[in-house]
Chains A and B, each alone.
Chain A
Amino acid sequence: MWEYTEKVKEHFLNPRNVGEVENPDGIAEVGSIACGDALKLSFKLDENKRIKDIKFKTFGCASAIATSSALTEMVKGMTLEEAMKVTNQDIAAYLGGLPQEKMHCSVMGKQAMEKAIENYKGGPPTEPAAQIICECFGVTEREIEQAVRENNLSTVEEVTNYTKAGGGCGGCHDAIRQIIERVRAETAPAARPKLSNIQKIKMIEEIIDREIRPSLKKDGGDIELVDVIGNRVLVATRGTCATCKAADITLKHFVELKLRDFVSPELVIEEVTP
């Protein structure tokens, strides 16, 4: 059972603003029945160009209905510029948080709001060459980029939780990984400053935790940082890695590459036996 906050449950059981606005100024539909959730949003502006009325219809789980309801409450009375600035994180925060696996519901709300505003402005969607990355769920490159940027995502699993991309056949995982790397490279400082030893060790630990350990754990393995001497990173393998014949290939081709990517290109990985 999902651990929903009281506020999520409350919005699910008593959703606000269900329905469709008559003669709407802006309208949008996102998601699809195949994907398991869909949201239809319509709004009307008052004479001061503020959102006077906004309604939703949602097909989906409890959190999809609750985020739709929350979104409409949040943006009512806002100008479109203000509404445009509401992020999926804001929607989740308004509800006291969402389970990680359900963050895509908040992203769906954000997308519907953007699309409805675009519809009001009369322009076609601002992504003329939208490239679909995830065929199973019809998620575009731009959507993934935006989710990575706004939510500081770093793994494929996180991207799946936030956008659904990669949650079907898994054929797009490499493409998602590339997008993550590209976006993170944009945001990372251009030149790597020289690291102190302490900084280097801290960073290595962080990268092992974030980038390396989750993948190893999927196969029942693990890795432990033993020491860092200059650019030599001494590690010990644990779990299935400790007995796996392919472990040194994993160390050289996966662990070392990750550490070189994220910390310093001079690093060399060495395995020590405990």
Chain B
Amino acid sequence: MKTIYLDNNATTQVAEEVLDAMLPYFRDLYGNPSSMHTFGGQVGRKIREAREQAAALIGAGPEEIIFTSCGTESDNAAIRSALAAHPDRRHVLTSRVEHPAVKSLCDHLSRQGYRITELPVDKDGILDMTQYERALTPDTAVVSLMWANNETGVLFPVEKAAELAKERGILFHTDAVQAVGKIPINMKATSIDMLSISGHKLHAPKGIGIFYVRKGTRFSPFLIGGHQENGRRGGTENTPSIIGLGKACELAARNMDAENRMVLRLRDKLEAEILTRIPNSRVNGTRLYRLPNTTNISFEFVEGEAILLLMDDYGICASSGSACTSGSLQPSHVLRAMGVPFTMAHGSIRFSFSIYNTEDEVDFVIEKLPPIIERLRSMSPYWNAGDQVCSVQ
């Protein structure tokens, strides 16, 4: 059975060119980049090249790029470093819809006595900037807001938010794991102090990330050890993955426009067809400020895990914000923060595209999905097929 992979916000396929760039550095060119000999030194040169490729993608300087093990490490390093830089400040400002990498860390900090403000979002997933401005206080050590939401694709105005933080001397971090490679980013033109990137969301392998720290930002390392990464992140470099990520950044910079046009067209086609063919379905999150590759659609009166498993039978991969898939008993915190009604929240499905998707795949989903929803609705006690009116208690 062919796999139709529409779950690219979860992870992406490693690009052919990326894998090719990495392979020599596993077995043949295994030298340690810190070594004094030529054998290791040549690897060091490749890492410098990767750092430049990564910096170029986001309009940063190579000295502002720190390679980490993943987006979560970058998020942790950023927030903890900011708190260490301002030991007198005890307030962290974030939002209700952050990725667990930030959310759980903030929950943890709150148990350690920090004051955490989680800004709400409206029904479209949009942040209220007036409320944001009011929440910036002299006690605020750091703001952490995601650039693009992983579940809905909704974009936060982080550049504007960073300006407002800077005016008040507050450090600003953004989890840009879903945004980098999908929207143009130029750090030179922003006031963002710290930014997190994850390799496997842009066709590099898992286990590699980037932590961007603006030059001149007070910084204290998260991993203390050797002099690697200029003493800002100890530990022998993950050389093949760094080199692969460099290549992936180069590809993203080169192909972003074309990729975006393509995934946008596929996404919009899938979304439009689903909404037309399946009654009582709707898109979660604003369609105005959104990643081009993501759509989050709710189907009323059916449950997400059941949809996913029936799609899985056809090889279609997507994800859901339903309670049963989250491992907890409540629907996703993002949909709850947006006030998505329960009739809709449990039946939400996220489709996320990449350059490797095709129109045929979209057509296949458009053909298979309506009968799946119909079948589950025919089993649902809340669905009255005759008049498509719900019978919620």
**Which of B322, B325, B343, B380 lies at the interface centre, i.e. has the most chain A CB atoms within 10 A of its CB?**
B380
A29 at the interface (CB under 8 A from B): yes
Complex: how many Å from CA A32 to CA B380?
Answer: 11
Residues in chain A near residue B379, CB distance under 8 A: 15, 18, 57-59, 65
Asked whether B342 lies within 8 Å of A34 as measured between CB atoms, the reply is: yes
* Given A33-B342, A61-B322, A167 and B329 contact (CB-CB distance below 8 Å): yes
B276 at the interface (CB under 8 A from A): no
Report A34-71 residues with CB < 8 Å from chain B CB. 34-40, 57-65
User: Which of B163-171, B173-181, B297-305 lies at the interface with chain A?
Assistant: B297-305
Complex: how many Å from CA A142 to CA B68?
Answer: 51
Asked whether B328 lies within 8 Å of A37 as measured between CB atoms, the reply is: no
Residues in chain A near residue B327, CB distance under 8 A: 101
* Given A36-B322, A160-B329, A167-B329, A57 and B305 contact (CB-CB distance below 8 Å): no
Complex: how many Å from CA A61 to CA B331?
Answer: 12
Residues in chain A near residue B325, CB distance under 8 A: 61
B388 at the interface (CB under 8 A from A): no
Closest partner residue, chain B, to A20 (CB atom) = B381
Set A33, A34, A40, A63: member contacting B301, Cβ < 8 A: A33
Residues in chain A near residue B329, CB distance under 8 A: 35-36, 137, 160, 164, 167-168
B382 at the interface (CB under 8 A from A): yes
* Given A12-B309, A57-B379, A58-B379, A36 and B301 contact (CB-CB distance below 8 Å): no
Asked whether A65 lies within 8 Å of B306 as measured between CB atoms, the reply is: yes
* Given A18-B379, A34-B342, A36-B346, A61 and B330 contact (CB-CB distance below 8 Å): no
Residues in chain A near residue B301, CB distance under 8 A: 33, 59
Residues in chain B near residue A35, CB distance under 8 A: 329
* Given A57-B380, A61-B322, A37 and B313 contact (CB-CB distance below 8 Å): no
Closest partner residue, chain A, to B301 (CB atom) = A59
A13 at the interface (CB under 8 A from B): yes
> How far apart are B287's CB and chain A's nearest CB, in angstroms?
26
| Main SS at interface, chain B | loop
Residues in chain A near residue B328, CB distance under 8 A: 167
Asked whether B381 lies within 8 Å of A39 as measured between CB atoms, the reply is: yes
Residues in chain B near residue A64, CB distance under 8 A: 303, 324
Report B305-330 residues with CB < 8 Å from chain A CB. 305-306, 309-310, 313, 322-325, 327-330
Residues in chain B near residue A38, CB distance under 8 A: 381-382
> How far apart are B148's CB and chain A's nearest CB, in angstroms?
25
> How far apart are B321's CB and chain A's nearest CB, in angstroms?
11
Asked whether B322 lies within 8 Å of A57 as measured between CB atoms, the reply is: no
B104 at the interface (CB under 8 A from A): no
B392 at the interface (CB under 8 A from A): yes
> How far apart are B298's CB and chain A's nearest CB, in angstroms?
13
Asked whether A60 lies within 8 Å of B343 as measured between CB atoms, the reply is: no
Complex: how many Å from CA A64 to CA B330?
Answer: 15
Complex: how many Å from CA A31 to CA B392?
Answer: 12
* Given A101-B327, A167-B328, A168-B330, A62 and B381 contact (CB-CB distance below 8 Å): no
B378 at the interface (CB under 8 A from A): yes
Residues in chain A near residue B380, CB distance under 8 A: 57-59
Closest partner residue, chain A, to B322 (CB atom) = A36
Residues in chain A near residue B309, CB distance under 8 A: 9, 12, 62
Asked whether A18 lies within 8 Å of B378 as measured between CB atoms, the reply is: yes
Residues in chain B near residue A40, CB distance under 8 A: 381
B230 at the interface (CB under 8 A from A): no
**Which of A32, A59, A102, A137 lies at the interface centre, i.e. has the most chain B CB atoms within 10 A of its CB?**
A59
Complex: how many Å from CA A101 to CA B324?
Answer: 9
Complex: how many Å from CA A164 to CA B323?
Answer: 11
B393 at the interface (CB under 8 A from A): yes
Complex: how many Å from CA A36 to CA B330?
Answer: 8
Closest partner residue, chain B, to A32 (CB atom) = B393
Asked whether A36 lies within 8 Å of B381 as measured between CB atoms, the reply is: no
Asked whether B342 lies within 8 Å of A62 as measured between CB atoms, the reply is: no
> How far apart are B301's CB and chain A's nearest CB, in angstroms?
6
Residues in chain B near residue A13, CB distance under 8 A: 310, 313
Set A34, A37, A136, A167: member contacting B303, Cβ < 8 A: A37
Complex: how many Å from CA A37 to CA B380?
Answer: 10
Scoring B residues 82 to 111 as 1 if CB is less than 8 Å from chain A, else 0, what string do you get?
Answer: 000000000000000000000000000000
A-B contact pairs, 16 of them (CB 8 A): A15-B379, A29-B393, A33-B392, A34-B342, A35-B329, A36-B303, A36-B324, A36-B329, A40-B381, A57-B379, A57-B380, A62-B309, A64-B324, A101-B327, A137-B329, A167-B329
Lowest 4 A-B CB distances belong to which pairs?
A: A167-B329, A61-B324, A40-B381, A61-B305
Q: Which residues of B contact A (CB under 8 A)?
A: 301-306, 309-310, 313, 322-325, 327-331, 342-343, 346, 378-382, 392-393
Using A33-B343, A37-B303, A40-B381 as known contacts, list a sample of 18 further A-B pairs with CB atoms less than 8 Å apart, ordered by residue number in A. A13-B313, A15-B379, A33-B346, A33-B382, A33-B392, A36-B303, A36-B324, A36-B346, A37-B324, A38-B382, A57-B380, A57-B381, A59-B379, A59-B382, A62-B305, A65-B306, A136-B330, A168-B329
